[in-house]
Amino acid sequence: MISVQIVSKKRLIYQGKATSVTSKNRVGEFDILEQHANFITLMEDYVILNHKTNAEQVYELKSGLLVAENNKVAIFVEE
């Protein structure tokens, strides 16, 4: 599982676990899975958190910064 935190300037939007994180950058859609290499990118439009139960949580956003390191994903968004 991946520890995920989504924050804006004003509030904590989400903190918890996910099996994968999906989003989009200028190149296209990408996924972050367990044991992913360290990764940092500007992102746009949305973040999808996928869970063990096959449930998805979708967060729409204007833009943001995603940092993945050591099975932790921090997402800083502009709401």
What are the pLDDT tens digits along the chain (79 aa)? 999 999 999 999 999 999 999 999 999 999 999 999 999 999 999 999 999 988 999 999 999 999 999 999 999 998 7
Q: Which amino acid is at 48?
A: I
Q: What sign has the CA pseudo-torsion 56, 61, 66, 70?
A: negative
pLDDT of residue 34: 94
Angle, CA of 35, 41 and 45, to the nearest 5°: 110
The pLDDT assigned to 47 comes to: 96
Pairwise CA distance, residues 20 & 5, whole Å: 13
First vs last Cα of the chain: how many Å apart? 26
- Return the pLDDT at 54: 86
Number of domains in the chain: 1
Q: Look at strands 2-7 and 72-78 and give their pairing.
A: parallel
Whole-structure pTM value = 0.90
Structural domain harbouring 46: 2-78
CATH number where 56 lies: 2.60.15.10
